[in-house]
Copies of this chain bind each other. A is one copy, B any other.
Amino acid sequence: MSVLDLIVGARAGQQRDIARLISRIEDGATDAREAMAALSGFTGRAHVIGVTGAPGVGKSTTTSALVTALRARGNRVAVLAVDPSSPFSGGALLGDRIRMQQHATDDGVFIRSMASRGHLGGLAATTPQVIRVLDAADFDAVIIETVGVGQSEVEIAATADTSIVLIAPGMGDSIQAAKAGILEIGDIFVVNKADRDGADTTVRELRHMIALGQHDGWAPPVLKTVASTGTGIEEVVAAMDEHREWLIGSGQDRKRRLRRISDEICALVVGETRARLSVRAAELDALSSAVLDGSMDAYQAAEQLS
């Protein structure tokens, strides 16, 4: 099938065509180019939501509960799991996997596991393009689930309209540890597993830390959930809606989208550079040996490849 056929199918909500289109984009530049050209004009409508937090905090359970809540009001939802351990990407515990299967048979839900790109960056370089495909395929919400302390949280904030940061009660150490990054990037903070000891203390600590920070007109709320039972999820959805309205009303929406596109363009240019390098692997090997043996330094080697 041609890329254009796939786009027609994807626009009509055909799950298989969406999946194939994404694979084409992940696989090759020519197809992706064609697809991007054909998609411009159909995008800009989906609400892109990032869900992140340390391992064990309940990201997948929360994502699943959010999907259920968004479906209940008729939204079409796509989930991108950039987390090798996510049940969405098939890597996790059986119990989780079963919980997710309710969505697997729902035509209004599209689930895709994205490989992260090793040392090239936490989020796959193609993530912005994949989001554009899902946007054009008329999903109301695209949820990106990433595991992470630090690095991927920052990336997800750059990619999402609304970033939800999950915290577990009593994770004082982690809050401390991740403090620098976490407070800057969260638009909504959720203390999950709030039926556990220490939830209120964690909420209080977070509120205190957030109050000390700088925010451009949006005060990030700190909410409590027990995602496994759905408790508090409605409030998270309401906060998501509110944040989106604020984004649009304040002009931050356009600003964030511009930044996202600018990151995407840079990633494509850098990707082009990397692609050129990978073609010259033999030359790179020879230059690396020369540097190791001391007959050349790394800058001289880099110059020869530039």
Contacts and interface: CB of A to CB of B under 8 A. Distances in A.
Interface string A129-159: 1000000000000000001111110110010
A40 B41 CA distance: 53
Given A151-B152, A299-B36, A181 B265 contact: no
Nearest to A150: B147
A97 interface: no
Contacts of A268: 298-299, 301-302
A84 interface: yes
Interface residues of A, number: 77
Contacts of A216: none
Given A92-B176, A266-B284, A299-B268, A84 B181 contact: yes
B54 A55 contact: yes
Interface stretch (A196-204, A222-230, A288-296): A288-296
Q: Interface of chain A, helix or strand or loop or mixed?
A: helix
A179 B264 CA distance: 30
Contacts of A291: 40, 261, 264-265
A45 interface: no
A178 to B, nearest CB: 6
Given A269-B305, A289-B258, A299 B119 contact: no
A285 interface: yes
Interface in A251-298: 254, 257-259, 261-266, 268-270, 272-274, 277, 284-285, 287-289, 291-292, 294-298
Contact of A298 (B44, B116, B150, B265): B265
Number of copies: 2
A1 interface: no
A33 B296 CA distance: 11
B180 A84 contact: yes
Contacts of A85: 176-180
A91 B121 contact: no
A28 interface: no
Nearest to A277: B266
B150 A116 contact: yes
12 contacts: A37-B300, A40-B295, A40-B296, A54-B174, A55-B176, A56-B173, A56-B177, A92-B176, A92-B177, A257-B292, A262-B284, A273-B273
Given A54-B54, A55-B176, A151-B152, 4 more contacts: A116-B151, A119-B155, A147-B177, A257-B292
